[in-house]
Homo-oligomer: A and B are copies of this chain.
Amino acid sequence: MTEGKRAPVTAMEVARLAGVSQSAVSRAFTPGANVSAAMRAKIMKVASQVGYRPNALARSLITGRSHMIGVAMGNLSNPFMAAALEELCVQLAHAKLRLLLFSAHHETPIEQVIQYQIEALVMLSVPITEALAKECEAARVPIVLFNRSVEDFEAPCVIGDNETGARAIAAFLLAGGHERIAFIGLGEESTSSREREAAFTAYLAEQGQPLYLREMAGFSQAGAASAMRRLLLRPDRPEAVFCANDHIAMIALEVAQAEFGLEPGRDISIVGFEDVPQASRPGVSLTTYSLPIGLMVERTIEVIDQLRNGETPPARVIIPGELIVRGSARKPHWGGAGRKPRQPEPEGAA
């Protein structure tokens, strides 16, 4: 260990080198502080020479604001989750907040995260466990739910307009003249899936054409594929299938094409929810209800900021989307529900 592991530069050293007090250095690095321009310039010069960077940990310790936000994520193989996390990452950075990531599955101990003095916890489409809720309450860490509703626990949530979306899809399928209409859900733990299903079946029932069949995909690719297979193996297979999200819908699409030789949009209609980037790809062309991730994240950060400032955010922020008609489902003859499909946008591949 003869390695010259020189200690990192502190404000004290900068102060000495600049011939000023240590608190002057602190002020120089504090945006709205009471420092003369001359002093600040002098300090900044020395600081950059020696490569000084304020220690955020020490600062947080004294200000009581860590600027860190915990994010609990579920399975990233759902492209919507990946997109949401990415957007959250960008917008949090823009709001000068750090993102402390952990996996909600795999039993990551939440207390480990809380110990880092996070100022809020965002649940990315994952359920709140009893233990987690208690820990957060005790530590006074507010929780924000993204793309998921509250259940027994009280917390603000930011979600897409599941009801309007599911009803729009039901109307679209009915208008397309479909008779046997099925639904593939995610699972009972998913509030989004439940809400979408409820609104969907309610609308169908209102129109005197109740849901034909119902399957659950669970949270695996294989589960989604088997759910679709069960549907298509029926003697009278459904004419249309509404899937609780695009991820399931895309798998359903593949099963219909690859295993049953059905052409989506002609032999069978498949509709998703969320409008993930892949949905617009040539080989997918999924009809779906879009959820504006950018806006959802924006509102989420607003909620976080309110929480950080001791204000009371709305209990429930619902973001409207729109029906995106592409090729995976037969269109009504009058050609009209929803807007015209969006163009594929530039999307990363690295």
Contacts and interface: CB of A to CB of B under 8 A. Distances in A.
Interface of A: 1, 3, 5, 8, 51, 53-58, 60-61, 66, 68, 71, 73-79, 81-83, 85-86, 89-90, 93, 96, 98-103, 105-106, 108-109, 111-117, 125-126, 138-140, 186-187, 190, 217-225, 245, 247-248, 251, 253-255, 257-259, 277-278, 281-285, 310, 344-350
A77 B86 CA distance: 9
A86 B103 CA distance: 7
A210 to B, nearest CB: 26
7 contacts: A57-B57, A73-B86, A77-B278, A99-B101, A219-B350, A221-B346, A258-B285
Number of copies: 2
Nearest to A277: B77
A114 B105 CA distance: 28
**Which 8 A-B residue pairings sit nearest by Cβ, starting from the closest?**
A75-B348, A254-B283, A56-B115, A258-B283, A76-B82, A221-B347, A220-B346, A51-B138
Most buried by B among A96, A112, A187: A112
Contact of A254 (B116, B245, B281): B281
B283 A255 contact: yes
A114 B76 contact: no
Contacts of A73: 86, 89
Contact of A221 (B55, B102, B218, B277): B277
A78 to B, nearest CB: 6
Contacts of A245: 349
A109 B53 CA distance: 13
B89 A139 contact: no
Given A100-B100, A219-B348, A349-B186, A75 B86 contact: yes
A98 B100 contact: yes
The residue in A77, A89, A245, A253 that gathers the most chain B C-beta atoms within 10 A of its C-beta is A77
Contacts of A89: 73, 101-103, 108
